[in-house]
Amino acid sequence: MSRTPNVDEHLLERLFDLSGKVAVVTGGASGLGEAISLGLAQAGAIVVVADINRESVDGLLAAVDGRDERLFGAEVDVTDKQSLEGLVADVVATHGSLDVLVNSAGTAARHVAEDFPEEDWDRVVGLNLKGSFLACQVAGRQMLEQRSGSIVNLASIGASIAYPHTTAYLQSKGGVAQLTRSLALEWIDRGVRVNALAPCLFDTPLVRASDAKASLTSEWITARTPIGRRGEPHEMAGPAVFLASEAASMVTGHILQVDGGYLIA
């Protein structure tokens, strides 16, 4: 008796192909955002690298030196709703749609809890949590109108566990994880998937700058990471492409740990 295979011979190459998709990566000009921007572009997407630092955006585009015509730049402040609305309007007017949003804009501050400055708390929570919500809200409206889209937030292992001297960061990333779940549930029947990546400590400019001021936090995390090292930014590109693509069509509300085994230890 003959039967038809459930998986056709071109399924995988089609599932991970982002050709024709338009992506925005906030905080996309450095660190994890840069690696994700380049990964999405290599998977075929048109990628708008959106960052508050225009010089960093221009520097990244100059570094690729025309090798990838799918990369475009934009300046945005994710804590400013009007800035985000302008970005989304420009992206749709120029490229016709917005299919993928990656919320990589973020920051951190290290202080003992009893002396944590209020201004640092406001800055970290405002950028990491409020900024993620506003970007999801503004981009989500466009995706809901299209009845299609994938949002990938940047949470952290700090959404699930604690480590020292990062009170505001931990609260903000816990909030991002819950934001991801709540939006996934609200939009699950309207064509929009919402997931998050939860990295451990990665070797980025932000982490190196933090280490220069106070290294105890990084030492604590690295000592407890079974893989025995920090992540490299390019190791976030594959997970981001997966969540953005049709390969993850049945995945929503998920927090994907990219943590070198931290949470199994």
For this structure, is 163 an active site residue?
A: no
Determine contact, residues 32/199, Cβ cutoff 8 Å.
Answer: yes
| Cα gap 254→143, rounded to integer Å | 19
Q: What pLDDT does 206 receive?
A: 85
Strand, coil or helix: 103? strand
Determine contact, residues 86/137, Cβ cutoff 8 Å.
Answer: no
Q: Which two tokens stand for residue 10?
A: 């071109």
Determine contact, residues 195/183, Cβ cutoff 8 Å.
Answer: no
Judge if pTM exceeds 0.75. yes
Q: Which two tokens stand for residue 32?
A: 């994890």
Angle at 21 between CA 242 and CA 46, to 5 degrees: 100
Q: What pLDDT does 5 receive?
A: 67
Q: What pLDDT does 4 receive?
A: 67
Catalytic residue among 72, 133, 163, 169: 169
Could you tell me the sign of the dihedral formed by the alpha carbons of 95, 96, 100, 101, in that order? positive
Q: What pLDDT does 229 receive?
A: 94
Q: What pLDDT does 3 receive?
A: 64
Strand, coil or helix: 243? helix
* Long-range contacts of the stretch 222-228 (C-beta < 8 A, 24+): 224/262, 224/265, 225/200, 225/201, 225/259, 225/260, 225/261, 225/262, 225/265, 226/260, 226/261, 226/262, 226/264, 226/265, 227/260, 227/261, 228/260
User: Low-confidence residues of the chain, pLDDT below 70?
Assistant: 1-5, 7, 66-68, 214
Give which of 22, 156, 190, 152 is closest to 91, Cα–Cα.
22
Lay out the sheet containing 100-103: strands in order across: 71-75, 46-51, 22-26, 100-103, 149-154, 192-199, 255-258
Report pLDDT digits (tens) over 195-254.
999 999 999 988 888 777 768 888 989 999 999 999 999 999 999 999 999 999 999 999
Q: Which residues pair with 238 in a beta bridge?
A: none
| One-letter amino acid for residue 145 of the chain | E
Q: What pLDDT does 2 receive?
A: 62
